[in-house]
Structure 1
Amino acid sequence: MKTNLKKTALILTGVLVGGATFAQTTDSIKTEYVQPFSPVSSFRTWSIGINGGLLTPYSPFRSGREDFVHAGTDIGYSAYIKDQILPSFGLQLSYLGGKISGNQSQDNSLTSYSTKLKYAVDLSANFTLANISWRNNKNAIQPYLTAGFGMMGYTPTTVFANGQPKDFGHVVKNGYVPVGAGFKINLSQGVNLDLGYQIAFVDGDNLDGFNFGSNNDKFSYGHIGLEFALGGSSKPQLATHNPVSSMRHEYLLDEQRLQTQVDAQKAANNQLRSDLDATKNALNTTNANLAKFTTDSDGDGVPDFYDKCPGTPAGTKVDGSGCPLPVATTKIYVTEEDKKVVKEAIKNLEFDFGKATIRDHSLPSLDKVAQLLIDKNFSLKLAGHTDNVGSDAANLKLSKDRAESIKTYLVSKGANASRIEATGYGKTQPIASNKTAKGRQLNRRVEFTLF
């Protein structure tokens, strides 16, 4: 019995270890995206598989009343074609072949038997588990359960205690019910590693060629093999597809599309804002151009753009170009009496020595000149001169200061400052020789020119 348990343990090792180490892929595995609610044609549903393994009459349901005490272990092989109708349900048509053997019948009349499976064909329902995950894009391992019904044909050969073999001589046919479990590991997008274990319940007691106790026979098949998905390589397998991942991918696509729309709207808003700014700038430019044609800084009624004489004093009458109109003036003549007033002022004019200070006895004559300028609106040019005593710069300054001193006094008496010009010439324009005292005295003068 212990030997049989060891054999069973070897057969189930792949399944048990796989179940213990069952794991899911992480998000690093590429999502096999199919739009939710797509037709079944979007998937690969057909597949074929081939595998090999061990056949034995031993099973976990062995009651101890089997026809033979010791179960043998032999090579088996199988193939199948499967149609995955739903993500978790498929129909599988399988073929199983090989040999089943055992030793020592319960009544010790037979030493062994060997049964050759001519065929074992069944149609089973395949239930895929854990192909839907809320944690990962795709499960690397898909556990499954199978159950179905099939027909088998076999030829048992027994060996008596005396060594004489007995062959049934014909193929025995029985129905059987296969029940199995296992898991598939995804090696690539279209290839799976298939590890499974199956128990077949035979509808008869002749599988071992010996009827003892009227118990139906059973046998087990543990296998490893490959499954190949049929169809276009761009389509995912329906059995391994995780619709939750596609839903998540669809959500991310919608989010990306929405973000694209938001970005496009932002770009459109920015463009509109840019267009508005450009329109505003164009309007400002237009307003500036209009202002250029309407602004009248000096208030003479002629816009600056056309004003050829900007800065005209307020109240001045101007022509169409903004220039003052000629003012009709009465011509005033300088009389001999006027010249006499000026000549008297020149005669009485004296300054402090080396200064521009006018002496007091010169002021009454200057008062008459001031009144003359007021009454007749004459213009007056004052030209200051010196002798050659002293430096050129000092003489030029002194001549200018004396002319300015006379202008200041006349303005203080009411004369129009704009009609009085004061200039200094220093020693550059003598009217007499500077070699004599009298000549130098004549050169120290201020000339009055009335006009």
Structure 2
Amino acid sequence: MNYSTLKKGVAVSFVALMGATTLANAQETPATSSSAKVFGGRGQYRSWSIGVNGGVLSPFLAIGGTNDFNRADVNLGYGLSLRKQLGHAFGLEGNIFRGKVSGTNKQVAGALPAGIKDFETEMQYSIDLRGVVNVATVDFLRRENSVNFFVTAGYGLVAYNPIVNGVDNKGKFGEDKDKDFVKEAYIPVGAGVKFKVSDRVSFNLGYTMHFIDGDNFDGVYAKATTKDKFSYGYAGLEFSLGSKSKPNLDWVNPLALMYDELKDPSLRQEVEALKVRVSSVEKSVEDLKKDSDGDGVSDQFDKCAGTPAGVAVDGSGCPLPKVEVAVVDASNVTGFERIQFEFNSSVLKTDSYPTLDKLSSVLRDGGGKVTVNGYASSEGTAAYNLKLSKDRANSVKTYLVNSGVNAKQVITKGHGEANPIASNDTEEGRIQNRRVESARD
């Protein structure tokens, strides 16, 4: 990669990377008031500004380097700028300026052709796009800044006419020797400081070095790998554009805004109110779980408070009716009334509760075991009906266990479509086959 390509790549990559990063993290959000919030987006700030500047142009750089001429003249330069601030720390700035750069040799350098003593290069225009980074402020801990330091870098194009020893070659440039100016790319790199004059105006001092992608800016080809360059030291005024009800994004301190939000009395009050609401909800949850008599039904829904320990209760917390052992002898129980189910359902019907309560009482008071057999009608596949019959048998077991029967006393089996007690060719017969039967082991 040659020097020219490297310079272009570095400049374009810098501007593109910084711009993309800032845009990804700072979405436009409409302003809702004149009070800026740190996470509110660029829409709540003034972010456009225009500037004018003037200063001194020189063929020499502050960092040194080789030059074809050993003395620089002081010449005036002037320009305009337009900047879009994309975040607290980064913006994009377009610049255009004009002027002339000149220099002389007290004695002709050995590397120059004999007789070349001075040059004067007229810049028709110099235009570039730069990324501007705010790197520090002398009062960063204050709510608003009044002094900012910045660095810049970018990519530009300059059109110029070099005059050597007073000879003007204007109109003789280009491949066809008919152009008034030479056009070449350059990379501007600079730094500066800005002072806040008012909410709208700032005073800027800056210095920019321009590295040109060519060796003809001073009208002399040194026949080496060096490139020409020039510098611009300037002072200027910058004017913020936009609604006066919005603060200028350049001068707002994000850390101070964050601190303001954390100390906002209304926000603190809202947080305290939220804590109270959370405590209220937690208390309500605890009240819902409270079960004073330990019967498994919370006090909120317990209609029979103070049920003695060990007494089986229904869903409302009231004791289930007991069936005297003398009425039904567990040792003689061989079965009970069939429990019927709706089509494709394993949910117990309410009319089966009395039968199940009676069996529960027998098992709890008299012991023994029962086998609960589930069945299904012939609709659907055999595999599905087998599962449905098991679910029906388990529904009965669940009811008995919840009423106080030991789970080990109840054995469940699913038989699917097997052992129909009526024809599956009629709906009446299928209704009878959707059943659960029980037999004592």
- TM-score normalised by L of structure 1: 0.47
* Larger Rg over CA atoms: 1
Tell me which protein shows more helix as a share of its residues.
Answer: 1
- TM-score normalised by L of structure 2: 0.48
